[in-house]
Amino acid sequence: MPDSVLVAYGTTNGSTARIAEAIAEVLSKEGLTAEALPARSVESVAPYDAVVVGGGLYAGRWQKDARRFVRRHRHELAERPLWLFSSGPLDASASERDIPPVPGVRKAMVRLDAREHVTFGGRLEEGAKGWVARMILRNGKGGDFRDFVRIEEWAGRIGRELTGG
């Protein structure tokens, strides 16, 4: 039975990091050893029995650290249970319906035989980095659309699948 889970994430403004931390917290409550780490800081996934990878969505692509992580660790990821998540829509759409993965993430899912992908709402608030983020905020489109009940339910399903519970 797997007992060690890495939740790696790529984030620019911290929204995806908080989602990853919430997932790791739920997995720990399910009896697993779980840690959330920035994707760029992970040297190896060898110490982990299972992996969850998440990335913020920017212009229809996963955040670059998440993309690089999946590419760099593809052989190890293909050998363990893997789940993927995206965060991004700045509206309630992710809580209202299933949003399919963007094309690059869909390719990674197939290539690495990921068990599941889910898209969660994102967060964009004053002080966000990047000119696109500032334009979005200037047009009144920011806010926090993360649904932590949905995030925790998804993480709980992963935990039960891994522990056989």
More confident of the two residues 117 and 134: 117
pTM above 0.85, yes or no: yes
What integer is the mean pLDDT of 145-152?
95
Instruction: Check residue 61 and report its DSSP letter.
Output: E
Q: For residue 93, what pLDDT is reported? A: 86
Distance CA 121, CA 19 (A): 10
Alpha-carbon torsion 126, 129, 130, 132, what sign? negative
Domains (range + CATH), the chain = 4-163 (3.40.50.360)
User: Tokens representing 16?
Assistant: 């995806």
Give the separation between CA 142 and CA 97, rounded to whole angstroms.
20
Element (H, E) at 94: helix 93-96
Are 81 and 51 spatial neighbours (Cβ–Cβ below 8 Å)? yes
Q: Is the pLDDT of residue 1 over 70?
A: no
* Distance from C-alpha of 71 to C-alpha of 112, rounded to nearest angstrom: 10
DSSP output for 96-136: HSPPPPPHHHHHHHHHHT-SEEEEE--EE-TT-SSHHHHHH
Q: What is the pLDDT of residues 45-59, one digit of tens each?
A: 999 999 999 999 988
